[in-house]
Structure 1
Amino acid sequence: MMRKHTRLIGWVAAVLVIVGFSQLGMWQLHRMHEKQALLDQQVPARAQTLGLADAQAAPPQLRWVEDHGRFLPGTVLLDNQTRGGRAGIKLYQPFRSDSGAVVLVDLGWLPMPPDRQLPTVVPREGEAHVAGLLAPPPATGLALGPALVPASQPAVWLANRMPPADVAAALGLPPASLRSAVLRLDPALPGGYARDLELLPNTLPPSRHLGYAVQWFGLALTVLVVALVLEWRSRRRTPSAYMRKSRP
């Protein structure tokens, strides 16, 4: 009786582990398809240029935007952004188009020194023509602590993530005026800092997600094989033990 109880507990544990590993594999596959779909949108996005307001009103996907407007005061420095293997920050400044649409503009990347002394930034001012890719913001780490904290420089905020409502409140913008998508400024335009239109900085490419998915499914299969082998050995031992007990 005890042996059957132990086998049942073992199988329940094995099934839970297999399901858990399989769920992690499925999540990795989902992330792979999600990121590949984003990459597949980049070329078609350049084929049609929209104004900022029209791009924000369209279904959410990559859009190439060209518009005229004015940069607004306030700068957000997004922490933990790497470029060429170096740690740094990305600079964002709000921009309002002539039609009234507001977006955070990615002005580029700056290295973070070892002492983490934030560099002095010079905000953009006045009217400007912008062009770039309206895209999701870069990936961030774990959501620990406040999203934004004031920096030593006035009207500058250091962020570890950029929830639109929190950013709007910090920059003194009306609630719900910001969307989650940011404008990745065309590197060919003058001004700003080091930048590109890479869609998956600071995060894994689709191929890596596929590799991790294969690993998780492989672990699930390994647990299943081990459980079946143990079950087979247990069944082989049980009849032998019974025959020894039944001998006179």
Structure 2
Amino acid sequence: MLLTVAAAALFVRLGVWQLDRAAYKDSLVRRYAAAAHAPPVPFGQVAATPPADAFPRVAVHGRWLADRAYLLDNPRHDARGGVEVYVPLVLPGQPRLLLVDLGFLPGTGNEQVPQLPALPPGGVDLHGLYLPPPGVGLELGGDALASQAHWPKNTIYLDLGQVAKDLGRPLYPRVLALDADPAAIYQREHAFDFSSMPPARHRAYAFQWFSFAVAVLVIFLVLHRKRRPRRTDRR
């Protein structure tokens, strides 16, 4: 009985923990959605030490390092083929580069790499969300950037450490995801990146743990129910 109670309590505790994780992820989604409509703050206020679990909308001035583009060819929202385009931004008087997510560029079906639109020379003023880089996941084959001699460079994951090594300059710890622009050729529909698990999966695991707790109790009751004594025929 003690083992049954302990196992059921453990499963219930794990289920509650998964529900707490789901609620936390839901709060991240709400904060992410609210940040998209917040007034921008100067980039320097959050550049080096962005607030944990927050996604500030920032305003930044710089110039493009236009000949150093990176093409992420496995974005989550890619259904037709295409790439997510990242280009470094040089900030005045700063040694670090800011990697900017220009958005998703759909493929044409006739070419392996879409033709990138030219970026404006000189200084530019940008607005967008200062976000953690997309999840890396399982890295296979090592650093793919170092083996490529021509730009733009293709990658199936975005590792800021490898990008910084490839550029020969340090990067800021997050990337700038530009605001949506109807006039831009890029599709900028930035959804929150759950590199581990979305809230729905946490709830599914919670249901699983609660089911285990119920199963343990049912098995205990079935094995220990009182059985009627068998009748014996008397002659």
TM-score relative to the length of structure 1: 0.69
Query: Which structure is higher in RCO with an 8 Å CA cutoff and minimum separation 6?
Result: 2
2:186 aligned to which of 187, 190, 194: 194
- Given that 1:73 and 1:94 are in contact with CA atoms closer than 8 Å, whether structure 2 keeps it comes out as no
CA distance in 1, matches of 2:50, 2:76: 30
**Equivalent residue for 1:221?**
210
CA change 1:41–1:202 in 2 (3 A) is closer
Q: Superposed, which structure 2 residues align to 1:20-169 within 5 Å?
A: 22-44=16-38, 46=39, 48-50=40-42, 52-57=43-48, 59-60=50-51, 61-71=55-65, 73-83=67-77, 85-100=79-94, 101-112=96-107, 117-121=112-116, 124=119, 126-137=121-132, 139-140=134-135, 142-145=137-140, 146=142, 148-149=144-145, 154-169=150-165
What secondary structure sits across from 2:125 in the alignment? strand
CA change 1:115–1:233 in 2 (3 A) is farther
Q: Percent identity?
A: 19
Q: Which has more helix, going by share of residues? A: 1
CA change 1:82–1:226 in 2 (3 A) is closer
User: How far did residue 85 of structure 1 move?
Assistant: 3.9
CA distance in 1, matches of 2:133, 2:81: 14
What secondary structure sits across from 1:117 in the alignment? coil
CA change 1:62–1:112 in 2 (3 A) is same
What secondary structure sits across from 1:81 in the alignment? coil
Is residue 2:180 matched to residue 1:184?
no
User: How far did residue 160 of structure 1 move?
Assistant: 2.5
User: How far did residue 147 of structure 1 move?
Assistant: 5.2
Q: Name the amino acid aligned to 2:175.
A: V
Gaps of at least 5 residues in structure 1 are none
- Given that 2:41 and 2:58 are in contact with CA atoms closer than 8 Å, whether structure 1 keeps it comes out as yes
**Equivalent residue for 2:166?**
170
- Given that 1:151 and 1:158 are in contact with CA atoms closer than 8 Å, whether structure 2 keeps it comes out as no
Shifted more, 216-225 versus 21-30: the winner is 21-30
- Given that 1:41 and 1:62 are in contact with CA atoms closer than 8 Å, whether structure 2 keeps it comes out as yes
What secondary structure sits across from 1:105 in the alignment? strand
CA change 1:68–1:218 in 2 (3 A) is closer
User: How far did residue 181 of structure 1 move?
Assistant: 1.7
> 1:180-204, CA deviations, whole angstroms, 9 ceiling, x for partnerless residues?
32222344497x63132x4416659
CA distance in 2, matches of 1:66, 1:21: 43
Q: Name the amino acid aligned to 1:92.
A: Y
User: How far did residue 179 of structure 1 move?
Assistant: 1.8
Shifted more, 14-23 versus 86-95: the winner is 14-23
CA change 1:38–1:185 in 2 (3 A) is closer
CA change 1:22–1:113 in 2 (3 A) is farther
User: How far did residue 126 of structure 1 move?
Assistant: 3.4
Gaps of at least 5 residues in structure 2 are none
TM-score relative to the length of structure 2: 0.72
